[in-house]
Every structure is written in C-alpha cells, then in structure tokens.
Amino acid sequence: MRAVVRCLALSFTLAAGGAAFAQDTPVGLWKTIDDDGKTEKSLVRITDSGGVLSGRIEKIFDPKNQDAKCDKCTDARKGQPVVGLTIIRNVKQDAEDKEAWTGGEILDPNNGKTYKTRLKPVEGGRKLEMRGYIGPFYRTQTWVRVE
C-alpha cells in the first residue's frame, strides 16, 4: 500500500511540476489590459507552432467594438474583423534570455502599425509583460493569464 501511495505522490509531483513549467511560456489565453493598468480590452490566445508563437484576438470586451475591422492595417489584414485577427507573429524564444520570447511583431489594430515585440511571463507565468517597440521607444502592457 505504501508503494502505491508513494507512486501516486510522485506522479502528482511530476504532473504539478510539468504544469508549472508549461505556465512559464506565453502560450495560453490572456486578458489584455490597457496602458492605464485597469481597463480590460480583449482576450488574446497565443499558440506555438514548431517553436514559433502567434497570437490572435478571440474576444473584445467593449460591446461597441464587436464588429470592428482593421481599417488602418496596411497588409493582408486590412479590412479584416478584429475578432479573429492575428496580432502577434513570428515570436521565438530568445537565444540569450530563455525567459523571453522575441524576434516577431505585434499589430495594434487601432492604428494599423506593427511593432517589434518581446513577451516575458512574470509572477510564475500568471502575468505576461508584452512590450511593443520601435528602436529605443517602447510601450509595455501587463496581460493576465486566463488559462
């Protein structure tokens, strides 16, 4: 009986450790928070395909913007509905800083501009620092993990 209990305890520990490790990546569903640190804007799902991350908007919280389109986009996303729009592309784990994901871009559908991006899970993966930047100028938002 003791062997069974030990085996179950070990299995639980390994499963919990694996779940904690999985939370240290940007992969998952995130609630985006505006620069004011309070206003919930949307839900963005970040996925991994062969080590390359992308993210798309799944939901917009403001009922007035449910049918918004990316009218200011200048690429193939121009005129596309914002809900379902891929806003994060080509992000990979940073070779030097394994806690960050870089190298890709993020789109601001409000102005149609794209920015280089850096994603970094913080607080044990419960939050995500999302930084968009051009040269030395940047803006960082903290997103909250939903799942």
What structural domains and CATH numbers belong to the chain?
25-145 (2.40.128.520)
Residue spans of the chain under pLDDT 50: 1-22
DSSP state of 16: H
Looking at residue 14, its pLDDT comes to 38
pLDDT in tens, 83-116: 999 999 999 999 999 999 999 999 999 999 999 9
| Residue among 32, 102, 113 at smallest CA distance from 77 | 113
| Residue among 107, 102, 101 at smallest CA distance from 84 | 107
Backbone φ/ψ region at 112: left (φ over 0), alpha (ψ -120 to 50), beta: left
* Residues contacting residue 12 through CB under 8 Å, at least 6 positions apart: none
